[in-house]
Amino acid sequence: MTGSLKPYPTYKDSGVPWLGKIPEHWAEKRAKHFFREVDERSMTGEEELLSVSHLTGVTPRSQKNVTMFQAESTVGHKLCQPGDVVVNTMWAWMAALGVAKQAGLVSPSYGVYRPRRPAAFLPELVDELLRTPAYVSEYTCRSTGITTSRLRLYPEQFLRIPLLGPPLQEQRLIMRFVAAMNRRIRRYIRAKQTLIELLEEQKQAIIHRAVTRGLDRGVRLKPSGVEWIGDVPEHWEVMPLRRVTASRCDGPFGSGLKSSHYTDQGIRVVRLQNIGHAAFKDSAAAFISPLYYATLGDHTVEPGDLLIAGLGDERHPAGRACVAPSFIGPAMVKADCFRFRLFRQRLDPEFAAQHLTATAVNASSLLSTGATRQRTNLQSTASRSIAVPPPKEQLAIVQYIKRETSSLRLAVASADREIALVREYRIRLIADVVTGKLDVREAAARLPDEPEEPEELGVTADEVMEESDIADEAEESMTADVGD
């Protein structure tokens, strides 16, 4: 369907360099002609609390599988109505904005903009248009601040941004096409994610047996005395993690480290989204200055340290672990991340990471607290039992796991890449459609009617963790700004 799409017959210069040429019959006016800022406040704080993020736009927090920072009281938070544009002022440069689909509450520091003439724009078109790469770049240019983490897109700047306005009937055709593309992409992503889940289940089954039973299927077993470990080989020891730990620490407490402290380089900050399932996720890199780090105390991370997540949910459980990679450089852990420096002659970090991750789901359900997100502290993590084979056997188990799961890991990586590529394709295609680079009127008119489907575009576990982390930091920082 997309291969036959062509540009519009005639174009005109928009007069805006970053928009370039637009279809001749489209309008282009500043956002203030279509929207006005509103500042209505809740008197009770009882309305639905909404989240505004770069991944999912404006959505009810109750529908998320994460627990984010929430102020003690939401009295005085801003009210928004269906069709309002809500901008996360601090994270607009990441496209943390969107159109509300329901009434609710948002942070008092967010921008809420209401249509002057509801019939001028379809809300769903505005939502797609404002999240295109060209617009996101413009938010960065118009934001005020010294560093990226402190940028703010204030109302007077947002309302000066030009919006493209196709005729209303054409908007309907455009969104009919976009909805059809989104449905196809969702189905593709769901199929790939189902494949990944099956592959991960196979991988975890191999790992779990190896790290709790060993490689000798004829070995005699004994009760470990630990519910989430079960029987273990007779010659293995079962002990709390602290007995094989030289030193341990967690991240700075409370507001000691926030996104406002981040810099472009310096001391690497290990965050929850970096701690994968026995694998370090080298994404969403954050840094702080050496000078500020010197004020925080000892939270250091060195290559080969064991990193354990103290916060999680059903998709990435608390207690999962990985090993700090050789390239980590000067680094530290953030809150809810624990660093254990092991006696390596007793416990190999790679084996420990595999063992802790394989047993994390069952262990966290018994050791942690929390409803939607499990949480453990440094002390309970240090007391967590681990089955310890002899050193040579640990290394043999680690090598066995790498060998036996190699093909599964490659298949998962391939599926992940395919999902990433189709998402990139979607971003480019939708941007071209809603900015008038491609004419979809005829293609949309030929589309069959299809039932509506859930709108989420298969957000991954890593992205959910990243969204939670960003939302927490933004909300904390903005609440502090309001207090100041």
What confidence tens digit (pLDDT) does each residue in 430-469 have? 999 999 999 999 999 999 887 766 555 445 444 454 555 5
In this prediction, residue 145 carries a pLDDT of 78
Q: What is the CA radius of gyration of the chain?
A: 25
Q: Do domains 11-190+416-483 and 221-388 have the same CATH topology?
A: yes
Cα angle 83, 188, 1; round to 5 = 75
**Does domain 221-388 fall into CATH 3.30.70.3270?**
no
Distances (CA, A) of 141 to 133, 138, 152, 289: 13, 5, 10, 25
Q: How many CB atoms lie within 10 A of CB 369?
A: 12
Per domain, the residue ranges of the chain are 11-190+416-483, 221-388
In this prediction, residue 476 carries a pLDDT of 45
Report, as ranges of residue numbers, the positions in the chain whose pLDDT lies below 70: 1-3, 63-72, 146-150, 367-373, 452-484
In this prediction, residue 37 carries a pLDDT of 96
Q: Two tokens at 139?
A: 């938010």
Cα angle 275, 279, 284; round to 5 = 50
Distances (CA, A) of 437 to 126, 167, 426, 433, 441: 16, 16, 14, 6, 12
In this prediction, residue 346 carries a pLDDT of 96
User: What CA–CA distance (Å, rounded) separates 159 from 304?
Assistant: 50
* H/E stretch holding 123: helix 123-129
In this prediction, residue 417 carries a pLDDT of 96
User: What CA–CA distance (Å, rounded) separates 351 from 394?
Assistant: 6
- In the DSSP assignment, the letter for residue 130 is T
In CATH terms, the fold of domain 11-190+416-483 is Adenine-n6-DNA-methyltransferase TaqI; Chain A, domain 2 (3.90.220)
Q: Which of 331, 308, 330, 327 is nearest to 318 (CA)?
A: 308
User: What CA–CA distance (Å, rounded) separates 472 from 469?
Assistant: 5
Residue reference for tokens 């402290």: 261
User: What CA–CA distance (Å, rounded) separates 15 from 11?
Assistant: 12
In this prediction, residue 67 carries a pLDDT of 46
Residue reference for tokens 């589309």: 447
